[in-house]
Chains A and B, each alone.
Chain A
Amino acid sequence: MFWHNFKYNLLIILRDKAQIFWSFIFVIALGTLFQVTFGNAYSKSELVRDLDVAVYIEDENVSYIFDNFIANISISGDGEKLLNITYADSIDEAAGLLDDKKVRGVFYSEDNELKLMVRAAGLNQGGMDIQDGILASVVTDYHQIFTVADAINKKTDINPLSLIGLMSSNGDNNTEKVIADGKMDAFTEYFYNLIAMGCLFASFTGLAITKYSQANLSTLGARKCVAQTSTFASTTAALLANLLILYICEILAMVYLTIIGVDFGDKLWQMALLVLIGTWTGLSMGYFIGSISKLNQNAKEGIAVGVSLTLCFLSGLMIADMKFIMKEKCPLFNKLNPAALISDTFYALNVYQENTQYMKNILSLLVISVVFVIAGTLIGRRRTYASI
């Protein structure tokens, strides 16, 4: 009886074009769009090497400190040169280099402060590109570090130059966690959130399972309820069959995204388990929404879509900083948001070698899904049909 139900539920979900669209086609379409749009922009960051700049600093104090600062930041962590510096003898000479497009920007001093000059279409006209942005951030970093070093210097005997060197270097004195092979930048996080969205879209199927298993929600549900098969057996078969197909959809979407250049890292088995648990969480969320309310099916579908997208939004699918805002303002919600948990777990897999965070998040997702299933089942069982 279970296998009979399971087999036919596999067929039903495989032929359900709408669900396959949302769980697979939509995810890979959005992923492709991400990759084409932002992947290109992101690869431009590779251009932020060997930036030609001119330096003319009249003020001796600024010059002394800036020289030390710039010496520390000019070489990146991987040993490659970030800035290619030409020292000018006058501001006019520096400006001339800029006009001749021989340098990208000019660092100069004015009223004992470090300033940046870029070409007219750049910073001052609101048309700042990535390279201008990097140069502007050098000035910002300099001011921040100078302020801190100056404050420390006033209270201690530590040489400000050594402080600046320490603070602007790559931090040899900091112990860095060992990082796994995967990427962990904001760009890759979009894809973690995209997969999280695909997992939560399984809620639409969960909703359909509830509809077709309860007599008061559909005639099909009524027909199944009068049959010689327990609702528990047929619902379990439906949930597992749908889980299998939607899981395969998400895995195929990840394979596709990897082929087009997204780097999910190399912890394949852990990721496979994460996607399985994530899809199950989405499915159980839909099952719960389907059971909880006396609203009509369209309203429930609207709620499932709204909740899924809101959770993804709050985990940073649309705005990358949103997850960090939520972490800061609403840490408990972030720990209960399945989308945030899924993308966090991907992140944890690629950042930490040990699996503590991964296991914590997996456990949280499992607990959330079990709560959804139990609550949905209890609500469904306790219902006395008001009208059929």
Chain B
Amino acid sequence: MGETVVKIENLVKRYKETLALDHFNLDIKEGEIFGLLGPNGSGKTTTINCILSLLSYDKGDIEIFGRKMSYDNYEVKRNIGVVMQNVAVYDELTVYENIDFFCGLYIHDKETRKKYVDEAIDFVGLNDFRKYFPKKLSGGLLRRLNIACGIAHKPKLIIFDEPTVAVDPQSRNKILEGIQQLNADGATIIYTSHYMEEVEQICTRIAIMDKGKKIALGTKDELKKLIKNTETIIIEAVGISDENKRELGELNHVYEVLYDGSRLTLKCSGGKHNLIQVLDYINKHDIPSGRVYSELPTLNDVFLEITGKELRDREV
């Protein structure tokens, strides 16, 4: 791992009586695509806004590139790019003008800026839309413009705050590939999303937050080891009796058996040959069965097991 790019120590942020960040710590290394996950109200957005000095905090330290971050630390800001969750562009400016405007807030030299803007347009694939006004763009193209505005000045740290919300699968794929490309070109990425499969696909390390605290941190494989479930077996079967359920539950490594009349679900913890022993039991008892699936745990399982399944509706 490289140098520390973002270092957060004992960060505390209160909104009146609500504790949004509770002695939160984080280290993000150079070259990472760092996923920040958490249910609504867990403190993700607050963390991002504190990192960017958009929000004052009650206690703690934030260092970026080894320097204390503050609202007027323009040298540090030069190396940060942000892609907001909501599209932030001017309706009155064309695609080219929008990117040029935001790039110009960092890059003074006209020639360099022109080169950077052209590269950003190439990167997000908006060459055919340079003279379009944002209102003429589809949702996916608008998201790509939003990204271009955030990355045109070639920052070393890029924060993506749910950049794929309301985007079609093609555009989403293009965006994810783009993020990986930016990372390959040397940028460190902080990525927040509610889409677990995206985080699983691109993030090299993930922190899960809840109630203002970091409750898990690691690579996706490390996180999966934190939960009990290692394999879920699903069998389309009919006529499963309570006796069958009890006996299946007594098989090695099986810790939970669910049956809804047509689908039998068995959750296993550990072991390498769980599927064979379950199929043996089905055959032995002549239980009529159809398709059989074996699923490894996903990040979604990890997330739900760690943060719980109750609904969250508070965004801090």
Contact = CB atoms under 8 A, between A and B. Distances in A.
Nearest to B101: A8
Nearest to A231: B71
| 9 closest A-B pairs by CB | A227-B105, A219-B88, A15-B92, A4-B104, A219-B86, A223-B88, A12-B92, A229-B105, A215-B54
B84 interface: yes
Q: Which of A5, A234, A388 has the most CB of B within 10 A?
A: A388
B106 interface: yes
Nearest to B72: A230
A384 B16 CA distance: 12
Contacts of A229: 74, 105-106
A228 B106 contact: yes
Interface residues of B, number: 34
Contacts, number: 84
Interface string B94-122: 00010001101110100000000000000
26 contacts: A4-B108, A8-B97, A12-B90, A215-B49, A215-B54, A219-B85, A220-B89, A222-B52, A222-B82, A222-B84, A224-B105, A225-B52, A225-B54, A225-B71, A226-B82, A227-B106, A228-B74, A228-B77, A229-B74, A230-B72, A234-B105, A384-B55, A384-B56, A385-B55, A388-B49, A388-B55
A225 B55 CA distance: 11
Interface of B: 15, 45, 49, 52-56, 71-72, 74, 77-78, 80, 82, 84-90, 92-93, 97, 101-102, 104-106, 108, 149-150, 316
A238 B85 CA distance: 25
A218 B316 CA distance: 17
Contacts of B56: 384-385
A387 interface: yes
Interface of A: 1, 4-5, 8, 11-12, 15-16, 215-216, 218-220, 222-230, 234, 384-388
Contact of A385 (B49, B86, B90, B106): B49
Contacts of B102: 223, 227
Given A387-B15, A388-B45, A223 B82 contact: yes
A226 B55 contact: no
Given A223-B102, A388-B55, A228 B84 contact: no
A15 B134 CA distance: 13
Contact of B74 (A4, A5, A230, A387): A230
B77 to A, nearest CB: 5
Contacts of B77: 226-228
A11 B84 contact: no
Contacts of B97: 8, 11
B78 A11 contact: no
A27 B181 CA distance: 53
